[in-house]
Amino acid sequence: MKLMKLEIVTPLGVIFDDEVKQVTLPGSEGEFGVLPDHAALVSLLDTGVIVIETKDGKEISVAVNSGYVKVEENKTLCVVDGAVALNAEDSNLASAIAEAKELLEKASDSNMAIASAMSKVDSLSKGV
């Protein structure tokens, strides 16, 4: 399967920079998925969860508060204000989830967005 480059940058540094199979993003007009060879696109990101399918088929979730995404043919760049990575194999998943929840709660005044993001984060903790 084709891969594309994904970069997630926050004011505190680059938190993800690798090849991925697919990424699902919380756009301000609705959630959308990006596969390799996607058309060029720029979108606002809302509070939510970015779901990444890595090149070895693993799933990583990243909770974000707000930002932008720019999609080019085989390169996706997310510039976000705050992000917490939730990796199911990480031993500190519980604390990361708590951190992610705090970030989401503070981030948005739209309860809908928070609730949907929260449920995603919660489902992740149950999966462990």
Partner 1 sequence: MANLKEIKRKISSVKGTQKTTRAMKLVSSAKLKRAEEVAKRSKVYASKLTELLNEIAQKMNNSDGEIDNVFFKENPNPKVVDIVFVSADKGLCGGFNYQTIKRVNKLLKEYSNVEVRLSGIGKKGIAFYRYNKLDMINEIEDLSASPSYERAAEFISKLVEDYIEGKTDKIILVHNGYVNMITQEIVEQQLLPVDSSTVDLDSVSMSELEVEPDDDDTLIDALVRKYIDYSMYYALLNSLAAEHSARMQAMDAATSNAGEMVQKLTVKYNKARQEAITTELIEIISGMESLK
By CB under 8 A, name the binding residues for partner 1. 7, 9-14, 27-29, 39-44, 68, 70, 72, 77, 79, 81
CB nearer to partner 1: give 58 or 106.
Answer: 106
* Residues 23, 4: Cα–Cα separation, whole Å: 10
CB nearer to partner 1: give 24 or 43.
Answer: 43
* Cα separations in angstroms, 14 against 7, 8, 79, 82, 90: 7, 6, 9, 11, 18
What is the smallest separation between the CB atom of 68 and partner 1, expressed in angstroms?
6
| Residue 38: alpha-carbon gap to chain centroid | 17
What is the smallest separation between the CB atom of 81 and partner 1, expressed in angstroms?
8
CB nearer to partner 1: give 35 or 42.
Answer: 42
What is the smallest separation between the CB atom of 44 and partner 1, expressed in angstroms?
6
Question: Where would I find the H helices in 9-110?
Answer: 93-107
CB nearer to partner 1: give 27 or 36.
Answer: 27
Number of neighbouring beta carbons within 10 Å of residue 98:
14
